[in-house]
Amino acid sequence: MALVKAGIVVLDCAEPEKLAEFYKGLLDTEETDANANLVEITGAAGTRLAFRRDANATPPSWPRPENSFQAHLEFLVEDLDEAERRIVGLGGRALETRGAHGPLEERQYADPAGHSFTLRLRPSTAPKQD
């Protein structure tokens, strides 16, 4: 029997309620737990994120070398332009929207609290045509 039942990525931020709203809108998730210092959301595919209150939180500044060991989130999407419009509409911002074109195209963004994340174009599952 596995000791660990599930993993949750937790982001520290000054206002967990506001950051949870951003990710709920981006990922079409629902709030599954909340208290004075933590809000957790879960998506249909089982993706779990939580946002923990830290009154001293400062936004990360990617990609500066002194912050090179921080983690970031990565999401697979089918339409980068549509996803970008949703991110901006929810209060996120682009960090870098130019990337390698083709099946590995990706773009970097920051959520309203400054955490970086990447959108990566989901490779097509259609059979290869010769």
The pLDDT-based confidence of 126 (bands split at 50, 70, 90) is: low
Q: What pLDDT is recorded for position 78? A: 85
CA–CA separation, 109 vs 117, rounded Å? 5
Q: What pLDDT is recorded for position 43? A: 87
Q: Which of 18-22, 30-34, 67-71, 91-95 has the lowest mean pLDDT?
A: 67-71
Among residues 29, 32, 33, the alpha carbon closest in space to that of 45 is found at: 29
Burial grade of 116 (CB within 10 A; 0-12, 13-18, 19 or more): buried
Higher pLDDT, 50 or 59: 50
CA–CA separation, 8 vs 116, rounded Å? 17
Average pLDDT over residues 39-68: 81
Among residues 29, 37, 8, 36, the alpha carbon closest in space to that of 90 is found at: 29
Q: What pLDDT is recorded for position 57? A: 84
pTM for this one? 0.74
Among residues 10, 6, 32, 34, the alpha carbon closest in space to that of 113 is found at: 10
